[in-house]
Amino acid sequence: MFSGSIPALVTPFRDGAFDAPAFKRLVDWQVGEGTSALVPCGTTGESPTLGFEEHYQVIDTCLEAAAGRVPVIAGCGSNDTATAIRHMRHAQAAGAAAALIVAPYYNKPSQAGILAHYQALADASDLPIVVYNVPGRTVADISAETMCKLADIPSVVAVKDASGDLARVTEHRAGAGRDFCQLSGNDDLWLPHAVLGGFGCISVTANVAPRLCADFAAACAAGDWTKALALHDRLFALHQAMFSDSSPAPAKYALSRLHDWFSPEVRLPIIPASAASRTAVDAALSAAGVI
C-alpha cells in the first residue's frame, strides 16, 4: 500500500506554539522533492508533547498542505487504546490514508495484550493501520509471530519495523506473505531491509535530505543496488547525525541550517541539539552534499 521515502515529519514550533506556516512550507518542499507519503504526529513529530487539539491541528494542516498529492499516514498511537481510537476517528474523518499505530508503551502488555489492542482499533475504525514496532522506545516488542497474526486483520496493511532485527523481514514475509507492506523504521538499515524485501522507509533523514532519500528509494525499487549502495554511503553520516542527540533536535537543527523559515525549537523534555551534535550534523550535511 505504501512504498518509497516517507518522512516521519518534525513538528515546527515557534515561541512555544505550533508553527503552521512553516509546517505547510515543509510539506510542500517534501512533496516537490519526491517524497512518496507523509507521517505527521509520529515520535519524530514530538507527539507525546502535543495536546489533543494541537495533535489534530498538525494532522489537518498536513492534509491541507499535501492537498492529495501524496498519502498522509497520521500518527495515532497511544498506550491508551481509547485515546488511539479517538485519534484514528479524527484522522479518518479528516481524510488520512492510514494511521501509524505504535505498540503500547510503558504499560508493557503481553503479546496477547498487543493483539487485543490492535484488534480493538480495527473493530472501532476501518482506517488502514501501519503497525509501528520500536521496542527501544516502547519496551514492548511485537514478536514476528504476533506481527504475522496482526497481518491477518484486514485493516492492518503495513509495519514500520524499528526493532533493528533484520531477520524479522524474512520472518514476516514467511508468515504474512510477500505482499505485506514492510517499511524500515531505521534509516541506517534501510538498504539491507530493502534487499531482504522491504518496500521503503519511514525516515528521519528524509526530513533533511528528501531528494536523496527519494532517489535512494527509487534505486532500491529498481534493483539498482550499485546506485543504492553509493547513495547509502553518501547518506550514512547523516543517518547517524540525526541521532547524535535526542531526536528530533538534530533534525530540527539541520532544517534550520537549510531553511531560514524553520526554527530549531523543540519542547521539553527534549532540549536543543548540543554543540557536539550540531558539529556532527554540519559535517554530515556537507558530506552528503546537502549544503
Tell me the catalytic residues: 132, 160
How far from 5 is each of 93, 197, 209, 233, 275, CA to CA, in Å?
25, 15, 10, 17, 29
Strand partners, 13: 18
* φ, ψ at 98 (rounded to 5°): -165, 170
Task: Give the Cα separation of 67 and 100 in Å (integer).
Answer: 19
C-alpha count within 13 angstroms, C-beta hemisphere, residue 200: 24
- Return the number of other C-beta atoms located less than 10 Å from residue 268's C-beta: 6
Cβ neighbours of residue 68 under 8 Å, at least 6 residues apart?
none
Quick check: 113 and 56 in contact, CB under 8 A?
A: no
Cβ neighbours of residue 162 under 8 Å, at least 6 residues apart?
132, 133, 134, 135, 136, 184, 185, 186
